[in-house]
Amino acid sequence: MRLPEMPEHEARSIRDYVNSQSHDDPAGLVQKVGSRRIMGRVHDMYDVHCERSRWWVITDPTNLYLQDDFPEVEQALIFHLGLGIFMAERSRAELPEAEEERVSGAWRRFKQALSDMDGAGESEDYQAVGIKCRDALLAVVRDHMTAEWVGEVEDPPKVSDFKGWGNIFAERLAEGRVRSYIKALVDKTWDLSVWLQHNTNATPDDAELVLDATAHYLSALGRLIHRRDHGEPERCPRCGSYRLDEDVEMVDEPEVGMLDSTICGGCGWQSEQTFISLVDHFRGKEQAVIDYLARPAGPSDRLHRKERREAIADGDEE
């Protein structure tokens, strides 16, 4: 079977990922064994040879699986998809950082609605979820009505007028079809939350629908504010592709550090490499590094599972 072609920067990225998980079993050969699009998400699959072990690496989200545990890559993919579903449920209360920091107050209240839903069992509980979602929407108004990007508003609506302020936000942040879409979200999301609040026959499905609608509006608003702050995404100067990836290559000369550049996944164009030493890269970030290393291991912590299993069998571990 002919393996898919893979540019060097892609192999280096996977190799660096594996090395970041294991500091005493360096990765060598990296082979891309395939890609699968499942439910709209592309999962790339790699066969990684280390000095003493061999791993499957699967992306979106990136994780690695010991081939002693999963002899076939399809087995690892099935486990990966199940793990992804579990993580998705846990991450329901999470937004991408760039979006959440722009709607943080409203998102905190939305997470309270999620928490209430976890313990809900009666109609009045589902009505309470609607109240929390309504509060989250009103928090958007309080947090942004005086924002710089809103500017002066002639005859401003009341703080409690979510639809009035929501339409103003849509006018400032979007245009054309996107503006019309955001205005429709404002109108329908508010109506749903108020409807749930007063629905004495509310069901779990009703509450889930309002939670989804509220989360979608907050995410869309956060995305638009982020786009306004940072502009449109960069495109390749050669072919116009958006498929720009950061390429980081570790080097020892002139001192230990990184060569950073941008590579286009469409045509292979690469920007000029920029060197930064590790000392400069981590200057002022010492505590953040310590906190990161001290936090509990996540689902990627499968390294040396075979060794631990053998140690238990030998009676070295309790």
Please name every residue paired with 264 in a beta bridge, in sequence order, or none if there are none.
244
Tell whether omega for the bond before 157 is within 30 degrees of 0, i.e. cis.
no
From the list 20, 32, 21, the residue with the least C-alpha distance to 66 is 21
User: How many Å separate Cα 9 from the centre of its chain?
Assistant: 22
Indicate the CATH number for domain 96-230.
Answer: 1.20.120
Give the Cα separation of 200 and 280 in Å (integer): 60
Encode the chain (318 residues) as per-residue pLDDT tens digits.
567 778 888 899 999 999 988 778 999 999 999 999 887 788 999 999 999 999 999 998 899 999 999 999 999 999 999 888 777 666 666 777 777 788 999 999 999 999 999 899 999 999 999 999 999 999 999 999 999 999 999 999 999 999 999 999 999 999 999 999 999 999 999 999 999 999 999 999 999 999 999 999 999 999 999 999 888 888 999 999 988 988 888 888 878 888 899 999 889 899 999 998 888 878 877 777 666 666 555 444 444 444 544 554 555 444
Give the Cα separation of 273 and 259 in Å (integer): 6
What global pTM score does this model have? 0.60
Question: Would you list the domain boundaries of the chain?
Answer: 1-93, 96-230
Residues 6+ apart with CB under 8 A from 248: 13, 16, 258, 259, 260
Residue 128: both structure tokens together = 């309470």
User: Do the Cβ atoms of 274 and 260 come closer than 8 Å?
Assistant: yes
